[in-house]
Structure 1
Amino acid sequence: MAMDRLFMAVRALFVRAVVRSIDDTGAEQMLTVQPHYGRLRSGVPVHQPFGFASHAPLDGAVAPVVAVGGDHADLMALPPANPSKARFGRLGEGDSVLYDACGQRIYIQNGKIVRLDCTSELLVTIGGSPILDLTAKQATLNVPLAVRGGITATGDIAAQGDVKAAGISLTNHTHPVTNAPGTTGKSE
């Protein structure tokens, strides 16, 4: 009988609760959870690992809840999961993926490739300023580009300013004209 009570007490320390709301506005993410039928608990802090934060889609979210020190008045939740929303599976051994509910992902394939899949745009910022903006139709770089290798273009190249090669201006460069007096002139 004492073992039964001990078993039930330990068993009651951990429950899987249905997440009813997520408040992600403060220093800690707080949940309102339903650990048991008819019981609703609000203000339950989420214990998230350092360097990672997420906000699970609410519909279908569940979270493991722990009664800290056996005190059911002092609950703590592990990060909510939502197995019904875009779970990325079929990973190979050693693979890792960071994903969202839309299927966007950063996929690290065990030393082979790092792949970014975006639904519409990839934006890189430094200090809050956009540096690189990629969409399916255009790449915009907002800083000077330095290239150590060659550049190959299969389409037209358009420049708003002068183009220089080895210090020679394409706009202001002239050539002598063969079989006629004078030189070619710059575009006016």
Structure 2
Amino acid sequence: MTMESDNAQKLRSLTRRAVVHAINDNGAGQTLTVEAHAGCPRSSVPVHQQFGLSSRAPLDGAVTHVVALGGDEADLLALPPANPSLAHMGNLASGETVLYDAVGQAVYLQDGKFVRVQAATEMTVEIGDVTVLDLTSKLATLNVPLQVNGSITASQDIVAGTVSVQGHLHVGVQKGSDTTGKPQA
């Protein structure tokens, strides 16, 4: 071998694709069991994950790239695993971002103007371990007082306690400019 081909081979061996056989997400950092060469699995390979984003790819079909740090095959580092066997959330416009999972739930940041959330069955908002908002396709539950600084428009009746805004009665009705009693249920 010439020196150039020897160096080229060394460079090629620094990184390679690997099949992911196991994902351990229980510790301070995620680790993988991977197989880059048939019959040579490697376990406890740390995953390089950026701060503020963590995910666990579905195992069946997961692949990654491993890097031999400093050219040392005993010191591998894996990039976050991907799973190309599952649907990729594509067709994004330039500058758009989507955070998604294996069942199609997604948070889209679109055009610098719009945030769209797609939830499979339910979406909750928690503040300090307290659910303040719970949304399903049938019901929105707000668990804190609501302050509205604009107007409210409702297409259906509003009920406060047991008093209907559209169907309540008044006591003490009189003619002229007199006032009535409180609304009755």
- TM-score after normalising by structure 2: 0.88
Describe the SS at the equivalent of 1:42.
strand
> How many angstroms apart in 1 are the aligned matches of 2:181 and 2:44?
78
Distance 1:186 1:58, change over 3 A: closer
The Cα RMSD (Å) is 2.3
Specify the code of the residue in structure 1 equivalent to 2:48: H
Asked if 1:129 is matched to 2:130, the reply is yes
Asked if 1:70 is matched to 2:71, the reply is yes
Determine the structure 1 residue equivalent to 2:3: 2
Specify the code of the residue in structure 2 equivalent to 1:177: Q
- 1:111 is displaced (CA, Å) by 1.9
Describe the SS at the equivalent of 1:7.
helix
1:1-188 equivalences in 2 (<5 Å) = 1-160=2-161, 175-178=172-175, 187=184
Describe the SS at the equivalent of 1:156.
coil
- Cα deviation, 1:70-103, whole Å, max 9, x if unaligned, reads 1111111010011111211111111111111111
Describe the SS at the equivalent of 2:159.
coil
Gaps (5+ residues) in structure 1?
A: 164-169
Gaps (5+ residues) in structure 2?
A: none
> How many angstroms apart in 2 are the aligned matches of 1:64 and 1:186?
69
Determine the structure 2 residue equivalent to 1:166: none
- 1:112 is displaced (CA, Å) by 3.5
- 1:128 is displaced (CA, Å) by 1.0
Distance 1:53 1:10, change over 3 A: same
> How many angstroms apart in 2 are the aligned matches of 1:60 and 1:126?
36
Residue pair 2:33, 2:44 contacting (<8 A) in 1 also = yes
Determine the structure 2 residue equivalent to 1:167: none
- Cα deviation, 1:41-90, whole Å, max 9, x if unaligned, reads 00000000011000001111101100111111111101001111121111
Describe the SS at the equivalent of 2:8.
helix
Distance 1:126 1:186, change over 3 A: closer
- 1:108 is displaced (CA, Å) by 1.2
- Cα deviation, 1:95-134, whole Å, max 9, x if unaligned, reads 1111111111111112232111111111100011101000
> How many angstroms apart in 2 are the aligned matches of 1:139 and 1:176?
37
After the TM superposition, list the runs of 4 or more consecutive aligned residues in structure 1 that deviate by more than 6 angstroms. Answer: none
- 1:187 is displaced (CA, Å) by 4.2
Distance 1:186 1:62, change over 3 A: closer
Describe the SS at the equivalent of 2:153.
coil
